[in-house]
């Protein structure tokens, strides 16, 4: 229930604040997007039928890059 899943927005129905979201593995579902500001192509976390936040793939890559750097410089 608290399980949020990331998916990619493939279309938006502005009037009803609904988006069609592709979760991969051929799973496509609608979600309410009233809580977020998004466009087609964005990744979102969806929880109980509502998109709760955008997910940024660039940021994910940056986190990894940052970590590679920290790890190569220091050890715990």
Partner 1 sequence: MIVFSLKDKNLSQHIIHDLKKKQRNYQFMHVCGTHQDTLMKHGLDTLLKEVGINILQGPGCPVCVTTPKEIEEMIVLARSGLIIATYGDMIQVPGINASLKDMQTEGYSILTVYSIEDAVSFAQKNPKRTVVFMAVGFETTAPSTALTLLNRPVKNFHILCCHRTIPPALRLLLEMGESNIDGLIDPGHVSTIIGMKPYEHLTEQYGIPQVIAGFEPIDILMAVWMLIRQIESNDIKVENEYARAVDPKGNQYAQQVIQDIFNKKDVAWRGFPLIKGSGLEIKEEFEHYDARKTFEDILEPLAEKEFKEPDGCRCGEVLRGLIQPENCPLFEKTCTPDHPIGPCMVSVEGSCHISYKYSKRR
Rule CB under 8 A: say whether 52 interacts with partner 1: yes
Rule CB under 8 A: say whether 42 interacts with partner 1: no
How far is residue 65's CA from residue 27's CA, in Å, rounded to a whole number? 30
- Whole-number minimum distance, CB 58 to partner 1, in Å? 8
For β-strands 4-13 and 28-32, DSSP reports them as unpaired
Identified binder of partner 1 from the candidate list 12, 20, 32, 38, rule CB under 8 A: 32
Contact 8, 29 (CB under 8 A): no
Identified binder of partner 1 from the candidate list 11, 13, 40, 49, rule CB under 8 A: 49
How far is residue 3's CA from residue 20's CA, in Å, rounded to a whole number? 19
How far is residue 39's CA from residue 31's CA, in Å, rounded to a whole number? 13
Interface residues toward partner 1, by CB under 8 A:
1-4, 6-8, 22-24, 32, 34-36, 43, 45, 47-50, 52-57, 59-60, 62-64, 67-68, 71, 74-76
């Amino acid at each position: 229930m608290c399980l949020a899943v990331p998916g990619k927005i493939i279309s938006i129905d502005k009037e009803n604040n609904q988006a069609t979201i592709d979760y991969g593995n051929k799973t496509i579902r609608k979600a309410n997007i009233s809580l977020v500001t998004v466009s087609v192509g964005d990744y979102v976390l969806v929880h109980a039928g509502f998109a709760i936040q955008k997910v940024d793939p660039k940021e994910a890559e940056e986190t990894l890059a940052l970590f590679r750097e920290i790890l190569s410089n220091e050890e715990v």
